[in-house]
């Protein structure tokens, strides 16, 4: 721990959590009967649902990759998921996050197993209190497993923040808008089962040393997320 | 399987002649209906409606804007609907298809023509500032009859919605803060119901395979017996006799559904108040 | 049967070379990992994952039920709920079919029971040349999770025979999860459907055949 984060004991987060504490995780599998696989994942108030269809034929056929399969992800927020209404339909932000989600999942999805076909992953955010892309990725990973898609492992995604100089785990909206000192820095990170980073982004201001720490914090948090994902999948397995 | 096969279609029609449906229901019977309100915290009002396996989520958002020039003292209503790709293997991402556009417009007309929302009550300053009510409908699982599920969801979300706080000085809405005022609504609730014709039978609340072979449908929004809007969809003709039967079926079913909605809203509203009381107490 | 463990992708299922990696698993170094969500099965020296979910994986010899999607110059394109397309050539019909009469034999939207002859790069080749195969012209079709099909059929067909006897229906179970039920009365078909869906729901239970015998006893009262 660097000197900057040593005073973590006294740092007050808006919702009273400890600096490395995640919000309450809720995870459930099998929530969309029509889908081949589906899941819901929530960090506290941030709720994401994901549904997977496939492998199936791709239309138009010329976009098919005969050598390997294709993974397509879409991410969208419901208009009422935030306090100021979002006009329904895709936005530049949702388009970017859709691609980021695909990249976060791709390293573990064994697409060679479904040559020439496509697996579609659809993510929608029901309620947003920051870290929506992370919740979406966590839901998508469970939905893919539920759909029987061969995967090397699941993936776990979480946002690490820096509020002024303090690193915190699992940002909420109030923390994204942090006004004191150096302001907020937002770092969403996704890990694969064997601890490799499949997605990382950053907005804000941070030193190399603290960034390395942030990655460690994320790795720690990912273990808890992994447990929740496994539990949700095993629960539905038993019911079946 | 994309569309229902010929075999299943024939069998459904045969069954219907005997007054039976694949899931054991009567022709004028709805599937199990569950309504949950307050399902999305940042919405002014929201509801999740399940009709059998069909599921929709409806959210109400509000914002302040200028009124339309021909209704300077009235608030506005806008209804949108999205058939999410996650809700069915048949839906691909892309601009809204006709079905979702029609659904939004039909639900809109039912609410608008019944004057369920007292639009004058949404006026802040005549000619300058009025509230606009946005109703956004999303399909979560399509197993037939998204139309009626959406209508029920819209009503439930409106009834439990609270108006956001508004800053008179800046003229801006304080998003994320709510007054304890509800949207001004009429007491009587408009219910939107659809009757489908398959072969020579008339049914309500079709499952997906029934909906696939529906030859024509009539959606009527009525309030305590008074009809406010109607839409006949799809091309097959209806005899006058059949049409009259449709009206009878809708009248009978409207009362049942209205009771169910009332019960569900009172129940979940109590639950929400209880939860709020507890959170308040903890803080 | 229920003490088989449920595993998720990425979970270690064996260490230290006691087992060989079977279906649904992958060896990395000295450990074997699950790569699919399902039930772990250890037999002899093989460890594999039996999928609980996922689209139907076609195999040669499987009996499947499908819908005619399209008619080409020499056969019918059949949708059997797989990513690969399935095709029934006019040569694989038990009687002679003229190229112009394809529609007479089967139209778009018709349901057919067929057997998978072969699977190759082009797709799945079907045949209806054997007894019990061909166009379905009565009855109803229901759909279940294809992973539950073995349960519905039962050991040596014991479960499906029980259901057929108790409901007095003709039933053909497609390995792809589509099931054809044909009874003399509507009630019988709906009863068979109820029974099959019940089995599919309880598929993880052990002693299911006994439980179903009791269930039938109860239902008949």
Q: Which residue has tokens 């995640």?
A: A22
Contacts of A55 in chain C (CB under 8 A): 55, 83
Give the closest-approach CA distance of B201 to chain C in angstroms: 17
Q: Decide: residue C161, CB within 10 A, 0-12 exposed, 13-18 middle, 19+ buried.
A: middle
B79-83, B278-282, C132-136, C196-200: range with lowest mean pLDDT: B278-282
Q: What's phi and psi for B81, nearest 5 deg?
A: -140, 140
Is C41 in the same domain as C111? no
Residues A140/A157, Cβ–Cβ less than 8 Å: no
Interchain CB contact of B89 with C (< 8 Å):
no
Nearest Cα residue to A156 out of A224, A73, A235: A224
Preceding peptide of A60 cis, ω within 30°: yes
Neighbours of A196 (CB within 10 A): 12
CA distance B262 to B188: 10
pLDDT tens-place string over residues C107-119: 888 999 999 999 9
Once rounded to an integer, what is the mean pLDDT over residues C178-198? Answer: 90
Greater confidence (A180 vs B149) lies with B149
Contact C140 B1 (CB under 8 A): no
Is C89 in the same domain as C41? no
The pLDDT score that the predictor gives to residue A69 is: 86
Once rounded to an integer, what is the mean pLDDT over residues A217-225? Answer: 97
Q: Which chains touch A (3 or more CB pairs under 8 A)?
A: B, C
What is the token pair recorded at B16? 């219907």
Contacting A residues, span 161-200, partner chain C, CB-CB under 8 Å: 193-194
Interchain CB contact of A126 with B (< 8 Å):
yes
Interchain CB contact of A84 with B (< 8 Å):
yes
> Does residue B237 lie in a domain region?
yes
Is C211 in the same domain as C160? yes
Preceding peptide of A55 cis, ω within 30°: yes
pLDDT tens-place string over residues C62-75: 999 999 989 999 99
Nearest Cα residue to B23 out of B142, B160, B135, B143: B143
Chains B & C: contacts with CB separation below 8 Å: 41
Report DSSP letters for chain C, one per residue.
Answer: -TTSPEE-TT-EEEETTSSEE-TTEEEETTEEEE-SSEEEEEETTEEEEEESSSS----TT-EEEEEEEEEETTEEEEE-S-SS-EEEEGGGSSS---GGGHHHH--TT-EEEEEEEEEETTEEEEE--STT-EEE-SSEEEE--GGGHHHHH-GGGHHHHHHHHHHT-EEEE-TTSEEEEE-SSHHHHHHHHHHHHHHHHTTT-SSHHHHHHHHHHHHH-
What's the domain count of chain C? 3
Is C216 in the same domain as C154? yes
Is C120 in the same domain as C164? no
> Does residue C126 lie in a domain region?
yes
CA distance C147 to A147: 12
Walking along chain B (283 residues) 10 residues at a time, the average pLDDT comes out as 70 89 90 93 96 97 93 95 93 81 96 95 92 97 96 95 91 90 92 95 95 94 92 93 95 88 75 62 51
Give the closest-approach CA distance of A237 to chain C in angstroms: 7
The pTM score is 0.91
Top-level class of domain A3-239 = alpha beta
Q: What's phi and psi for A89, nearest 5 deg?
A: 115, 165
> Does residue B1 lie in a domain region?
no
Hey, where are the domains in chain A?
3-239
CA distance B59 to A173: 20
A7-11, A31-35, C213-217: range with lowest mean pLDDT: A7-11
> Does residue C56 lie in a domain region?
no
CATH number at residue C39: 2.40.50.100
For A85, which of B89, B92, B134 is closest by C-beta distance?
B134
pLDDT tens-place string over residues A97-125: 999 999 999 999 998 887 778 999 999 99
What's the domain count of chain B? 1
Q: What's phi and psi for B19, nearest 5 deg?
A: 75, 25
CATH number at residue C122: 2.40.50.140
The pLDDT score that the predictor gives to residue B274 is: 67
Contact A150 C37 (CB under 8 A): no
Contacts of C24 in chain A (CB under 8 A): 150
Once rounded to an integer, what is the mean pLDDT over residues A41-49? Answer: 97
Q: Domain of residue C27: give its range.
A: 6-51
The pLDDT score that the predictor gives to residue A4 is: 46
CATH number at residue B93: 3.30.230.70
**Strand A155-163 to A70-77 pairing:** unpaired
Once rounded to an integer, what is the mean pLDDT over residues C164-187? Answer: 93
Contact A38 B86 (CB under 8 A): yes
List of residues 6+ apart from A108 with CB closer than 8 A: A141, A151, A152, A153, A154, A155, A192, A193, A198, C9, C10
Residues in chain B: 283
Per 3-state DSSP, chain B is made up of helix, strand and coil in percentages (nearest 5) of 35, 35, 35
Is C72 in the same domain as C129? yes
> Does residue C156 lie in a domain region?
yes
What is the token pair recorded at B117? 């929302």
For A117, which of C6, C33, C83 is closest by C-beta distance?
C83
Q: Domain of residue B108: give its range.
A: 6-282
Q: Which residue has tokens 């038993």?
A: A238
CA distance A128 to A111: 31
Interchain CB contact of A53 with B (< 8 Å):
yes
Interchain CB contact of A147 with C (< 8 Å):
yes
pLDDT tens-place string over residues B57-102: 999 999 999 999 999 999 999 999 999 999 998 887 777 789 999 9
């Amino acid at each position: 721990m660097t000197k900057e984060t040593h005073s973590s004991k006294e740092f007050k987060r808006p919702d009273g959590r400890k600096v490395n504490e995640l919000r309450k995780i809720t995870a459930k599998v099998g929530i969309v009967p029509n889908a081949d696989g589906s899941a819901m994942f929530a960090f506290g108030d941030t709720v994401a649902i994901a549904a997977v269809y496939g492998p199936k034929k791709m239309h138009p056929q010329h976009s098919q990759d005969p050598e390997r399969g294709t993974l397509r992800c879409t991410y969208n927020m419901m208009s009422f998921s935030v306090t100021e209404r979002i006009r329904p339909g895709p936005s530049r932000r949702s388009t970017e996050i859709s691609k980021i989600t695909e990249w976060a999942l791709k390293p573990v999805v064994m697409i060679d197993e479904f040559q020439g076909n496509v697996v579609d992953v659809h993510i929608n955010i029901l309620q947003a209190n920051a870290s929506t892309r992370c919740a979406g990725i966590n839901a998508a990973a469970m939905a893919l497993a539920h759909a029987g898609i061969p995967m090397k492992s699941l993936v776990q995604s979480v946002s690490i923040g820096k509020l002024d100089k303090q690193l915190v785990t699992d940002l909420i909206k109030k923390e994204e808008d942090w006004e004191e000192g150096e302001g907020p820095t937002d770092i969403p990170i996704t890990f694969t089962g064997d601890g490799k980073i499949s997605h990382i982004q950053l907005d804000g201001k941070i030193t190399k040393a603290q960034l390395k720490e942030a990655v460690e914090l994320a790795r720690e948090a990912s273990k808890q997320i992994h447990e929740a994902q496994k539990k949700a999948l095993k629960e539905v397995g038993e019911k079946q | 399987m994309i569309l229902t096969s010929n075999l299943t279609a024939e069998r459904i029609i045969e069954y219907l002649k005997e007054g039976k449906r694949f899931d054991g229901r009567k022709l004028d019977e709805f599937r199990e209906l569950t309504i949950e309100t307050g399902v999305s915290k940042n919405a002014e009002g929201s509801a999740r409606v399940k009709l059998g396996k069909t599921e929709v989520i409806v959210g109400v958002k509000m914002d302040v804007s200028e009124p339309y020039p021909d209704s300077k003292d009235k608030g506005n209503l806008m209804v949108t609907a999205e058939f999410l790709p996650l809700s069915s293997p048949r839906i691909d991402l892309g601009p809204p298809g006709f079905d979702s556009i029609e659904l939004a417009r039909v639900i809109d007309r039912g609410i608008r023509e019944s004057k369920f929302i007292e639009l004058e009550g949404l006026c802040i300053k005549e000619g300058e500032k009025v509230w606009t009510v946005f109703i956004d409908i999303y399909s979560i699982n399509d197993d037939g009859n998204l139309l009626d599920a959406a209508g029920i969801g819209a009503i439930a979300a409106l009834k439990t919605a609270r108006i956001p706080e508004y800053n008179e000085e800046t003229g801006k809405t304080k998003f994320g803060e709510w007054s304890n005022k509800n949207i001004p609504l009429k007491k009587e609730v408009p219910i939107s119901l659809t009757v489908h014709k398959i072969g020579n039978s008339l049914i309500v609340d079709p499952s997906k395979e029934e909906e696939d072979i529906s030859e024509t449908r009539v959606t009527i929004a009525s309030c305590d017996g008074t009809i406010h809007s109607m839409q006949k969809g799809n091309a097959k003709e209806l005899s006058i006799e059949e049409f009259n039967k449709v009206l009878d079926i809708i009248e009978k079913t409207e009362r049942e559904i209205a009771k169910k909605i009332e019960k569900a809203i009172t129940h979940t509203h109590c639950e929400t108040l209880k939860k709020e009381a507890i959170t308040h107490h903890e803080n | 049967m229920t003490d088989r463990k449920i595993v998720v992708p990425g979970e270690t299922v064996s260490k230290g070379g006691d087992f060989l990696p079977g279906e649904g698993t992958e060896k990395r170094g000295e450990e074997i990992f699950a790569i699919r969500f399902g039930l772990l099965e250890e037999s002899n020296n093989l460890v594999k994952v039996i999928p609980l979910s996922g689209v139907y994986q076609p195999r040669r010899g499987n009996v499947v039920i499908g819908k005619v999607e399209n008619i080409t110059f020499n056969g019918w394109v059949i949708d059997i709920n797989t990513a690969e397309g399935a095709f029934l050539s006019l040569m694989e019909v038990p009687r002679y079919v003229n190229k112009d009469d394809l529609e007479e034999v089967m139209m778009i939207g018709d349901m057919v029971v067929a057997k998978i002859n072969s699977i190759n790069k082009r797709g799945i080749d079907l045949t209806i040349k054997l007894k019990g195969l061909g166009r379905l012209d009565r009855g109803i079709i229901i759909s279940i999770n294809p992973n539950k099909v073995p349960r519905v059929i039962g050991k040596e067909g014991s479960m499906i025979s029980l259901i057929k006897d108790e409901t007095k229906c003709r039933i053909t179970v497609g390995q792809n999860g589509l099931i054809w039920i044909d009874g003399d009365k509507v009630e019988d078909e709906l009863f068979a459907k109820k029974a099959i869906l019940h089995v599919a729901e309880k598929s993880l239970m052990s002693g299911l055949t006994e439980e179903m015998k009791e269930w039938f006893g109860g239902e008949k009262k």
